[in-house]
Amino acid sequence: MKRTHWIKLGVAIALLALLFWHVDLEQFPAMLRGADPLFLGLCLLFSLLMVAASCWKWWLILRLQQCPIPFLRLYRWYFIGYFYSNFLPSNIGGDVARAWYVRAHAKSGSVGIISVFTERFSGIVVLLLLAASLPFWLQGPWRMPTVWPISLLALALCLVLLAVVLWGGDLARTSLAKATVTQLRRILRADSPTSPGHRFWQRTADRLNRLHAQGRDLTVAFQQSPRAIFHVLALTLLFYGLTIINVALAYRAFGIWPPIGATASVLPTALLVGMVPVSLGNLGVAEGAYVYYFGLVGMASELTLMVGLFLRFKMLTLGLIGCLVQLGCPAPQEDHERINATESTPTDAGSP
């Protein structure tokens, strides 16, 4: 691993040590003995439904890109993505793997990258909106100085992303942007056609142009089919609704049904804070965010830490399933040939 990965691992260990020091560890054996096997199993199986909701959105986005791939095949690839995300130092390894599989099918790397980016981007935007609004459901938590600033930050990020989507193209054509690009070419020594920097610049520019063209085509597809935008947003909201139920099931597995309203109110903020990339795989950060923010609505630290560790175990389980799928999944080139041999004529986007 790189030096930064070792540092992040050290941060993760330190955060977990701090969490375990903060709680009463003597309660953990009793909670484990009192765990309900039925709800533990139900919560594990519920993850398969959550993955299906995300995969459905990915499937729809690919259909809009004129790249229809069978849903079950994408479902397998999604599990492979969980394997790379959970067992590689980088959190984006799973997205790279999924884009790579799509590239082998579509014979275009830009299709895979844009589809995965759009699926992730829509999820982030909706999460920011939820974090900016749901804490105000309850009168208590939003008044806390660790809640309302996060809500304001989430709202500000939403506005920034909206501005980039609406006016990013115009900004890229300004004289300041052009001058910045010219200066960057000089720094990289890309002005001379015979220099290595020039070749690197041309390859990078060609890839960015292909990505821009693919993104523009997808934008046009959304503009021509407003119902597709509604479907993407609905599937994203469905995923976060399932996430709330998932957390409630995890609490119930250890004996308590949490208040759904309180769970919905603080969960988006906890998820957002838990994504801060200061530790390896956000280990310790996500669990600490759960302990703190669910503590604001009266959930015990020991119970919430147990729930957080169980949710981490679920993620690792999905990664192990992805490892098994990876072992049994054909190479992308072979998978592409099989698709060409068996896939029917493409149809309009709809249900998988």
Per-residue pLDDT of the chain (352 residues; tens, 9 = 90+): 677 888 888 999 999 999 999 999 899 999 999 999 999 999 999 999 999 999 999 999 999 988 889 999 999 999 999 999 888 766 678 888 898 999 888 777 788 888 899 999 999 999 999 998 888 876 566 677 778 888 889 989 988 888 877 776 666 677 776 777 777 777 766 666 666 676 766 777 776 676 667 677 677 777 778 889 999 999 999 999 999 999 999 999 999 999 998 899 999 999 999 998 888 888 999 999 999 999 988 899 999 999 999 999 999 999 999 999 988 766 565 555 554 544 444 433 343 4
Assign 3-class secondary structure to the chain: CCHHHHHHHHHHHHHHHHHHHHCCCCHHHHHHHCCCHHHHHHHHHHHHHHHHHHHHHHHHHHHHCCCCCCHHHHHHHHHHHHHHHHHCCCCCHHHHHHHHHHHHHHCCHHHHHHHHHHHHHHHHHHHHHHHHHHHHHCCCHHHCCCCHHHHHHHHHHHHHHHHHHHHHHHHHCCHHHHHHHHHHHHHCCCCCCCCHHHHHHHHHHHHHHHHHHHHHHHHHHHHHCHHHHHHHHHHHHHHHHHHHHHHHHHHHHCCCCCCHHHHHHHHHHHHHHHCCCCCHHHCCHHHHHHHHHHHCCCCCHHHHHHHHHHHHHHHHHHHHHHHHHHHHCCCHHHHHHHHHHHCCCCCCCCCC
